A and B are shown apart, each in its own frame.
Chain A
Amino acid sequence: MGDTGDHDTDRGSVYDGLLGSGDSQWAFGTDFEDPLAGMDTSIPDGADAASLAQYCLMLGDDALIYSHRLSQWSSRAPDLEDDIALANIALDLLGQARLLLTRAAAADPALVPVLPAGSPVPPEDALAFFRDEAGFRNVRLVEPDNGDFAVTIVRLLVFATHRLALLQRLAASTDAILAAIAAKGVREVTYHRDYAARWFLTLAQGTQESRRRLLAALTVVWPFYRELFRPHPIELRVAADGVGVDPATVADEVDVLLGQVFGVSGVDRPDLPAVGPVSGGTGRDGRHTEAMGPLLAEMQVVARAHPNGRW
C-alpha cells in the first residue's frame, strides 16, 4: 500500500487498517499507555506517600476484585439487558481499579511486585496479577461467588451505596489524582446504585419466588456489611492527612439510603451477626474468605504464565 497519508479513505473498508505499516493501526496490544500520562503524581503536602499508596490499593482492590466477580455474569445473566448492564458495571469498576492501582504504584513504587527483566507488564498490571492473596486489601464483601441474581443485586446495592458515599467525600481529597478519580467515579457509581436499587424493589415486590430469593440473599450478604465501616489504621491515617476518608463516617448515610430501599420494598433490615476477623484481621489486612484464592487463580493465571508476554 502506498503511503498516501490520506486517512479519509481509511474509512472506506474495514480491511484498510490491516494494510498499514505502523503499529498504531492496531487498537490494542501495541504498547501500554500510562493512564496518568502527563499528570502530576507528586505527593500532596502533609501526606505520607506509603499510606497514600496503601489506601489506593484498598479502594483499587475493592473495585478490581468486584469487577472480576461481576464479569463472571457475562453471557449468563437472566436476560441480555442485564448481561450488558453487569458487564458495563464491571468495566466501570475495572477502569477505577486501573487508575487507583496506577496511583498506588506512582506513590510508592516499592509496592509493585518485581517481574523478570524485560517484562512489558505495567505497574498497575503487576499489582493486579502478581500479588498473592495476602497482599490484597479489598473488603471481603466483594469476594464470595455471585450466587443467584438476587444475591448479586443485594451485594451490588450494598457495594454501590457504600462506594458512592465514599467517593463523594473523596472528591475533596488533597491528592488531586485521587480527587479526580473519585469525582469521575461518583457519576458512574450513581448509575450502578440506581440499577441495583430498582432491581431490589422489583424482586421484593415481584413474585413469591423472587421475594423468597431476595430475602435469602440478604442473609448471605449482610454478614459482610459491618466490615465496610470498620476503619483500618491506614484509613485513619489518610483521613487525618486529608487525602482519604474514614469509612466510619459514611456509615449513617449508607444506612439511611439502604433504609429507604428496604422501606419502599417492604423488607426488614436484617439482624445478623457480622463475620468476624480472621487471625485478628479482615480484608483490609489481607485476610480473606475461602472464595478469594480460586478467584485470584482464575484472574491471574494467564498473566502469571507469561510475565514477558506481549498482547
Chain B
Amino acid sequence: MTVASPDAARARAVAATVTDPELPMLTLADLGVLRDVSLAGGTVIVTITPTYLGCPAMATMRDDLVHRLRDSGYDDVQVRVSLSPAWSSDDITAHGRQALAEHGISAPGRATRAAGPVDLTLIPARRAIACPRCGARAVELTSEFGPTACKAMYRCAACLEPFEHVKEI
C-alpha cells in the first residue's frame, strides 16, 4: 500500500465516508456528528460529538474512523470529543434525511428550543409525519423510546406496519 501525502481535504473526504453503526444508511457527516477533520503535523485530528451522552456507539465510531483513515494511509489518527454545541437532530443533513426515508425510518422534524423553563407536555406532541412505507398520514405513536436512544416508535394505521422515527432533540 502506498502512503499518500497527508492532505486535510482528502482525510476529510475519507472520514466523511464512515457510517453510523446504528443507522448504517447515514454517514457520520450526514448524521451531523462529524464536527471537524484537520491535520496537525502528520496527525489527523477528527472531532466527533455524541448524539446522546449515553450513546454506546461512540467507541465504534472512533474505531471505524481510525480504521478507515489508517487504510487510506493516515497512520496517526486522533479522535477527539466535542460536547458543545450539543448535537441536535436538526444537524442531520438533507441527504441524510432522504437516506433515512429510503430505509423506512421517519426523519425528525425541527427541534423546538424555547427560552426559560422547559414546558411540561402531558399530551405527546403530534408530529406531522407519514408512514415511510405507504405514505399514509394516519400514524400513531406507540412509544417515545425505541431500540436506540435517538428513536421513537410509531405504527401506521393504514398498512399497520410499525416504524421508527428519529426523535427531535
Which A residues contact B (CB, under 8 angstroms)? 3, 5, 7, 11, 22, 24-28, 30, 33-39, 81-82, 84-85, 87-89, 91-96, 98-99, 164-165, 168, 176-177, 179-181, 183-188, 190-191, 193-195, 197-198, 201, 253, 257, 260-261, 264
Contacts and interface: CB of A to CB of B under 8 A. Distances in A.
Given A38-B80, A85-B143, A176-B84, A5 B54 contact: no
B24 to A, nearest CB: 7
Nearest to B64: A24
Contacts of B93: none
Given A11-B24, A84-B143, A92 B81 contact: no
Q: Which bucket holds chain B's interface residue count?
A: 35 or more
B1 to A, nearest CB: 7
Interface stretch (B5-13, B65-73, B101-109, B126-134): B65-73
A24 B120 contact: no
Interface in B78-96: 78-88
B145 A85 contact: yes
Contacts of A264: 122
A169 to B, nearest CB: 10
B149 interface: yes
Given A84-B143, A84-B145, A186 B118 contact: yes
B54 A91 contact: yes
Contact of A89 (B1, B47, B58, B145): B145
Nearest to A96: B53
A81 B145 contact: yes
Contact of A27 (B63, B81, B117): B63
The interface residues of chain A, by DSSP majority, are classed as helix
Contacts of A88: 145-146, 149
A95 B55 contact: yes
A36 B81 contact: yes
Contacts of B47: 38
A190 B112 CA distance: 12
A236 to B, nearest CB: 23
B118 A184 contact: no
A164 B21 CA distance: 30
B117 A168 contact: yes
A95 B52 CA distance: 8
A28 B57 CA distance: 9
A22 B67 contact: yes
Given A24-B66, A27-B21, A180-B86, A92 B52 contact: yes
